[in-house]
Structure formats: structure tokens, C-alpha cells
Structure 1
Amino acid sequence: MDVTSLGCPISYLLKDELAHELQIRGFSVELEKSRDDLRKQLTQLIKLHRRGSVCFKPESSECKEEEEIAVCTAKVEAIEKEITGDFIARSAPRLVARCNYLINRLSRLDVSSEGRRNLCSRIISCLAIIDGGRSEASSDDEEEVKDVNVSQSCTKIIYQPAKTYNLNSLNLKFKGDSCVRIFATRLDELIVARDIPEEVVFKGFSDLLDGPALSWYRGNKTSFKNYQEVIDSLVEDFDNPDFDHKLLSKNKYNLTSACDWKQVVPEDSRKEILQKLHDEPSAGHFGVAKTHKRVASHYFWPSMFQDVKKYVAACEVCNCYKPINTAQAGLMGQPRQVTQPWEAISCDLMGPLPVSSNRNQFLFVVSDYFSKYTLLFPLRSSFTKHIVKCLEKGVFLLHGTPKIIFCDNGPQFVSKEFQELIKKYNVPHIFYNPRYHPQTNQTERVNRDIGRAIASYVRSDHRKWDQNISEIQCAINTAIHEGTKFSPYSLVHGRDMILDGSLYCSDDPIDPNQVTIVDPTSFSDSLGNLKNIFVSVRANLKRAHEHNSKYYNLRKRPVQLQVGQFAYKRCFPLSSAIKHFSAKLAPKFEKCIISDKHSPVVYSLKSLDGKDLGKFYIKDIVRYD
């Protein structure tokens, strides 16, 4: 069996036929491979066999004669069905190639049989129909075929006209100024794919050359004996100039450079080049664009830009010191689920402020999440005992114990004394803000209004900042809140606050002995209506959250991190003249590990040595890719 002959170009073979050709040559076939993969594998095997690099060990086909005839019969029936239908002239080359392949395949069987001879006759009839005017000649010659073992040579005379090869149709020219290795590889692929004999290529090799390469070939033509000698000499004489044993490429990048020829860097040396042109002080740890242009001025390799991009993205120094220029991560979170006043509160400590005439220096602020009711407590110090006293006397024993407390990570709120207060009153939940992200605490928003109000009245004497604290608290609690559409005072007390006695509509003097509750039903009705008001407040808060989310999320992007993943957290250093330390020169980010996920925007982090770093908001975390 001629293991290099298929009877037709490889491109016409179906997937099962490609697998069959590989199997009869002694090679295993993976069923999940595509037709293109099998075609490339068969092309490469035939190419290597022609060069003598591999030897085939054909399988015996004596025991598979019936199976082969059955397979070929099905394929012949498919061809007959196609040519008896609406036959298209441009399908003729493909059908002729398919018929020639089947005859070639049948000719490999060692045992002659009537079924195989009949099948060959049917194929001959198909070819006669396709060839049209040759049907009579084909029938005469068919009678001379007495043994299918000689049918291959006969069918080549009957059905295949004298085949001519036009090497110009390959659209392949070598002029001497391009890569000769690519030309040789591409030529070998075309020879195998189009089933062109190497002798034909050797005789017409001048059709593939032009310019200096053609002149070279004409001067050395008599010294070549076969195709392989031409290729070897061509590669040897036209390889790129290499005076330092390095491959060069000319003008791959149109950059201003004194070097037209760029050194082609092998894969094992590329990292060293990138380190030199990115990490060293003379390179400056610049970004992708500048680093790529610096490398491309002197070097070249395939996919160089992608390699530079990956290297810069993985650079530890760049990740720690460079600011982020992308959209801020993290969408707005979900609204707090509260149903009534004083169910959830938030607290914060403002200060230190200038020591007032009353010796106060801090302002402790407590805000109710549902009604937005605010309590202000001036303090002389920020000790935990003062915070605990204000919460116990001014909130827990006056408005009731809350279900949830939100606070920051200040030492007063993480102290043992504060935790004992929480335990004493059995507060179910206490939540701390992510580090360096006070925006999640409602009190921070109230602090802005408080600071503005205080500043509006102290004028130039800042020691009087605590003189109007009660009035400012009253102003905040009696104002209609934009989110709830009610005043905080009315939601807590069930009525509007009366700031002036003249609002009582009565001109008659009242005897103290005659003060009685005349009609309590009106006030009880207003208290009973609080349930409907609370429902309306919850709807208003939800609507306000949706409105705020719409604008907050415009320039934000969602980011999801996984536990155990590496990341970079933002650093918040402080300059110190004593320590000769400047925050501007400190790292902006620190590499760490995601240790826990509390919500889509809040994560717990730990350092590379396992130290707990606390909870951080997603805007201060950069994903490590």
C-alpha cells in the first residue's frame, strides 16, 4: 500500500475518513478532535514520511474487507444521490476527488471480490456522469479492468486527465528580504495540502522566486539535485544577518530609533529584557505604553505588547505605589431594614474642638435610623465612661434599648467598658464601620449639618461652640426630613413640637384647679395613626435610597472578590517630621489576602503573615489579577 497516496487532496476528506487514514497508518485518533485538527495531523505525518523522519506501520485490512465495502457503499450512495439531483457544475471537482479517493481506498484491499468490483463499477459510472462527454471512453476502458488490484492505475488514466500544476497559483513568492524559514514552512504545507509532487516543485521552483532570490537560484540551479537541496541552500544563504548569533527583524515597529534592525528575543530571555527596561531606575517603573515603546525600540518578539502588559500588571512595586485611574469599585449597598423609632441607632464622636468656656472639647452624637431623631451630648473628654453614661442615661433609659448599634472603630467603642454596657442591656447586634469608610454611618451625615450649624453661630470666638447645642438639636429634630417626609420629633412623640405658647388657641384664663383631661380621644386617634405613618416612612426611605443609588452608581463598577484571593488594600500613612517620614513617598497600597466576605462591598483582610487587618470597604481594595 502506498501510504502517502490518498487519491485526492486532504482538504476533500471527511472527518471519519481522516480518522481512518490515520488509523491505517498506525496512529491512534482522539474522537473529540475536530476535522481541522485531524487534517493538520495527517498533513504533518505525510510530510514527515516523505522526508524520512517517520515510518508507517500499516494495519492489515484482510479482516476488514466487508466493513470497508459497507462504508464505501454508503459513501457511493451519497454521491449518486447528489449527482442524480440538482447537480451544480462547480461541485464537479469535489465529486471527482471523492470518487478517486474511494477507488484508492478500495484498491488497498488485498482480497478480490465481486462486491468490490461492482462498487468500483458504480464509482466509474458516477465519474462518467460527472465528466459528461467521457462516458463512452470510460465504459470501454472499464471492461479492460479485470482485477481491482490494478484499478488504481487504470482509474488514473480513465478519470483523471493529465494533471498540470501551476506554482504561480500558490500565491507564494520569496524575494530574499523576508523570513526564509516562514517561506519554506508555508511551501511545505501547500505541497502536502494540494498533493503536489516534490519533483514538480523542483522543476518549476523559479516560479516561486523573485528579485535577488531568483538571481541566486539561476546562478546555482545546476548544483541542485532535488527539492530538499534547494530548500536547504535557500535557508542557509538567505537567513537574516546574524553577526552576534541573534535573530533580527527589520522595521517591525515604526518608532524613532537609530536601529532599523530589532533584535528578536528568544522566550527564555524576554523576562530579563523586561526587568531591565521596566524595573531599573533608568526605566522608572512606567506604565504599559511607555514600557512597550521602550522595549520595541530595540527588540521584537511575537505578542510583545501582551507580554509587557502582563509584566507591568504583575509588578509588585507598580501595584503598591501607583494610583488607581479606573472607576471606583462598589455599588451602593442595601437600605437598613428598620420598622420603628429607636430600633437601630448610630453614634459618633466629634472632636477634638476648641476647649469651650464650659470646658467641653467633644460632642457625642446619637442618631435614630428610622426617624432621624438626633441627640447631642457635649463632653469634656473622650473617655469611654462618658460615652457609656450618655448612651445609658440619655438613650437606653429614655427611649429604650435598641436592636442594632452602628459605630466606627474608635477605641471608645471597642473598649471593654463599652462591651459591658452592650452585654448589660442585651443589645442583639453591634456593627462597626469598615476602616476608613465612615460613609456607612448615618451619624457622619448628621455631623455635617451639626458642624455647619455650630460654625454659623460661633463667629470668631470658637470657644462658644457649645452655647447653642440644645437649640441646634431642636432645629434638627423639628425640621421635615427629605427622606422620611416627616419631622423626627413627630415620628418619635406622635405630635408636632410646640415651640411657642402662643400657639395654644385660648384667650380665657384657666384656673389651676380646673385643669382636667376633657377629650383624650383626639390624641389617642393620632397615636393610632402612627402605624400607617410608619408604613409611609418606610416607603419614603426606600424611595429615597433608590433615588440616591441611581446617581451614586453612575460612576461606580461592581467588583466581586473571593475568600483566599490576593488583593491590595489602600494605605493611609501619616507624615512624621520626627521619624523623617513623608506620606507622599509611602506605598499607596499593601498586598494582603481576603479572609472573609461580609457583604458584596465589605471584606475582612489579613496580611501575608496572617495578621488581621480588619474590615475594609471595596473602594479601598484593588483586585490582584
Structure 2
Amino acid sequence: LKQDQNSTLPSIEEEIDQTKEDSSQIKSKNTLDIERLKIEQGKDSIIQQKIAEVMNNPVKSSYEFKDGLLFKLMIMREGCNMKKKLIYLPSSMINDLLQVYHSDPLTGHFGVQRTYLKIKNKYWWPNMKQSITQYIQSCLPCQQYNISRSKIPGRLQPIPPSEGPFQLVGMDYCGPFKQTPRGNKYVLCLTDYFTRWVVAAAVPDCSAQTTAEALFNEFICKYRVPAVILSDQGTHFHNQLMEAMSKLVGYNHIYSTTYHPQPNGMIERFNATFVPQIAKFENKEDNNWNEFLLPVVFAYNTGTHSTTPYSPFQLLFGREPRLPTDGQISSFTFRKPNDYYEQLKKSMKIIHMHGRENIIRKQHQYKTQY
């Protein structure tokens, strides 16, 4: 690609320098390393008391002291005797951890439950959920931008859940927003109805051509051709170009009716979530909201969804996401591709079955409450 002489885009050298600078900033902010955990646990009187109890009677303890760290042993799930080791977080590090897991762009300023579910598989401390609740309730950006969502009266007709990922994908626009330095004013959002996986693309307008290009480049080329796309009847979706594209690529494009747009309600609910999340990070003077778009989508896709209840990442890829907050991996195991594939097939079958059952259960629940 040729760079225009009048272009304001940075050169490759400038990009590399900026990347180095950003990396050094990230490293300086990484306060949750093992050595600091050991030091802070050593200063915590309650943790030191627990360590003494474990050393005196390790068999009957619900804690484990290993490699200089105290862990809390928690049963993984009901009916399973396997226990998971969670780092006992010192009280001096709770605010630092909540800053990383709630206030960072890659964790997205989401609510109590999503934040709690991301933390609870890695760390533990007494009254953990209460601490998280208090922290988020005192978060100024959340207080400023979070909105309550009341139910609209009427009859709810949920869409039956599909059998797997990308069989039914909702598509909608969010915006217009203030124009960014890159010229973007809208966001095209696509949401998979099975996994709840979200793809979002910042675009300069919502014309038919822009819609077709973003759909093809950001979704179809990166994931697959969906079986069905559901959208409203806006002219950016309902036009000859989009109709020709659906026939050429091979998907069925259906539309919600003008007076009954609820079938595409799931993606509209995400849009209602997305707007305040972006607002918590953007610089109003620079109008740089598109710089936080992908981190916020990442935070959403790696957070546990209340309906399934898995993260969209886990339902799509069959494994738990690894987050920047998880630190460096100390060791890993080599596996043959065939062995990994067979294990992945088994895992995906179980996860998809449970996910679909939970979607149906939640839909019945929503229908009775609507």
C-alpha cells in the first residue's frame, strides 16, 4: 500500500517507536506479578495465620501453601470432587486487581457479575463479591454512563436458538457519533445468536457499499459465511447491492418488520451496552472513541454471558480465553494436532449442548417476566 504524501498517518518507524513506548507502559502497570503477590502475602497477617494453619494440618485444610504462595481450594462445580487452586489475594492488592479487571479498556467497565466471573476462576479473598460491588458502585465513569433498562410492555416471542455458531447473525448500526480523526462516525455491529460473539467495525458512513465491504472484510473473511443474517429494513441493509451480495456469497438475508423490530432485539441490547462502555474511555476533545472499540468488544466477548452461561469466546473456540491480566505462562504442554482436535470436538459438543439448554431456559424465563 502506498502512503499518500499528504497523509496524516504515522510512518512505520513511528508506529514501532509508539509500540515500544506502549509496551513499556503496560509492563510498568503490571502490578499483579508473582513476586509482588508473595511479598504482599507475607505482609498480610490473616494470610500468614492461614499459612500457619495449613503447615500444621495440610490434609484437612481448604487452603494450600505451595511455592511460596497461599491458594484457596475451591470445588470446580457441583457433583465434581475436583478442586481448583485460586490465589489468595492480599487485601493490599484488591484495589489494584479491580482496577485491572474492571477499569481497563480490555476489561471494559462492565457490571458486577461479569467482573466477578472473570476474577473468580483465578483469585479469591473473603467477601469477594461485596468488594467488587462496592468498587463498581463507586466507579465514576460507571455512575455517569450506566443506564437502567426497563422492559417494554407487550408479548415476547423469542427466536429459537440455533444449533451452532454463525447459523443466525444479527446486524445493526450504532451511531452516528462525533467524527473521529480517522473519519469514522458509525459502528456496524454483528452478533451471533448462539455464542453471543460480537464483531464491530468503525466506518465513516452507513451506505450500502460500506455495509457490504465491512460485512465481507470484518466478518465473512475472518470467520465464515453465516447461514442467515437478520437486520432491520433500513436502506443500508435492504437494497440491491446487499441482495446481490447475499446471493453471490451464499447466505439468506431476512428482515424484521417495521412495527415489530423485537426479533433483532439482542443486537440492539448489545448496542445499548456498547455506547456507554465506549463513553467511559473516550477523550471527548479528541473524539477518539474508535480507538477503544476493539478493546471493549474484546472485553464483552471474553466475559461470561448471563444467558448461556459461558463467554462467547469459550462457546466459539472451546476453551477459556487468556487475558492480558493473566500474566506470562510459566510452562505449556505440546500436543499432537489430532489429539487436540479430538479433545476439542468432545469439549465443544458438551459446551454447545449446555449453552443451547441454557438459552432455552432463559428464554422461557424472560417470556414469563416480560
TM-score tier (shorter): 0.5 to 0.7
Alignment of 1:261-276 (within 5 A): none
Contact 1:374–1:473 (Cα < 8 Å) also in 2 = yes
In 1: Cα distance, 2:337 partner to 2:225 partner? 32
Partner of 2:263: 440
Query: Is structure 2 residue 234 aligned with structure 1 residue 416?
Result: no
Aligned to 1:340, which of 142, 149, 164?
Answer: 164
Instruction: Decide whether aligned partners of structure 1 residues 340 and 434 sit closer, same or farther in structure 2, where only a CA change above 3 A counts.
Output: same
Aligned to 2:319, which of 495, 500, 513?
Answer: 495
* Deviation readout 1:402-428 (Å, 9 max, x if unpaired): 12111011101111111111010221x
Larger radius of gyration: 1
Alignment of 1:515-530 (within 5 A): 517=335, 521=339, 524-530=342-348
SS in 2 for 1:349: strand
Greater relative CO (CA pairs within 8 A, separation 6+) = 2
Query: Is structure 2 residue 349 aligned with structure 1 residue 531?
Result: yes
1:536 positional shift = 0.9
Partner of 2:23: none
Partner of 2:331: 506
SS in 1 for 2:290: coil
In 2: Cα distance, 1:486 partner to 1:523 partner? 21
In 2: Cα distance, 1:445 partner to 1:505 partner? 39
Partner of 2:70: none
1:462 positional shift = 6.4
Aligned to 1:457, which of 281, 306, 322?
Answer: 281
Alignment of 1:464-503 (within 5 A): 464-500=288-324, 502-503=327-328
Aligned to 2:254, which of 425, 431, 437?
Answer: 431
* Percent identity between the two aligned chains: 21
Contact 1:438–1:444 (Cα < 8 Å) also in 2 = no
In 1: Cα distance, 2:275 partner to 2:182 partner? 18
Any stretches of 5+ residues in structure 2 without a counterpart? 1-151
1:383 positional shift = 1.6
Please report the TM-score for the alignment, with normalisation by the length of structure 1.
0.33
1:348 positional shift = 0.5
* Deviation readout 1:240-268 (Å, 9 max, x if unpaired): xxxxxxxxxxxxxxxxxxxxxxxxxxxxx
AA aligned to 2:346 is G
* Deviation readout 1:6-62 (Å, 9 max, x if unpaired): xxxxxxxxxxxxxxxxxxxxxxxxxxxxxxxxxxxxxxxxxxxxxxxxxxxxxxxxx
Contact 1:354–1:462 (Cα < 8 Å) also in 2 = no
In 1: Cα distance, 2:363 partner to 2:316 partner? 22
SS in 1 for 2:194: coil
In 2: Cα distance, 1:355 partner to 1:459 partner? 13
* Deviation readout 1:571-604 (Å, 9 max, x if unpaired): xxxxxxxxxxxxxxxxxxxxxxxxxxxxxxxxxx
Partner of 1:349: 173
Instruction: Decide whether aligned partners of structure 1 residues 461 and 523 sit closer, same or farther in structure 2, where only a CA change above 3 A counts.
Output: farther
In 2: Cα distance, 1:449 partner to 1:334 partner? 20
SS in 2 for 1:472: helix
AA aligned to 1:505 is S
Alignment of 1:341-420 (within 5 A): 341-420=165-244
* Deviation readout 1:521-544 (Å, 9 max, x if unpaired): 356313322112111111100111
Instruction: Decide whether aligned partners of structure 1 residues 547 and 462 sit closer, same or farther in structure 2, where only a CA change above 3 A counts.
Output: farther
1:516 positional shift = 6.3
Instruction: Decide whether aligned partners of structure 1 residues 329 and 489 sit closer, same or farther in structure 2, where only a CA change above 3 A counts.
Output: closer
1:385 positional shift = 1.2
AA aligned to 1:531 is K
SS in 1 for 2:199: strand
In 1: Cα distance, 2:224 partner to 2:190 partner? 13
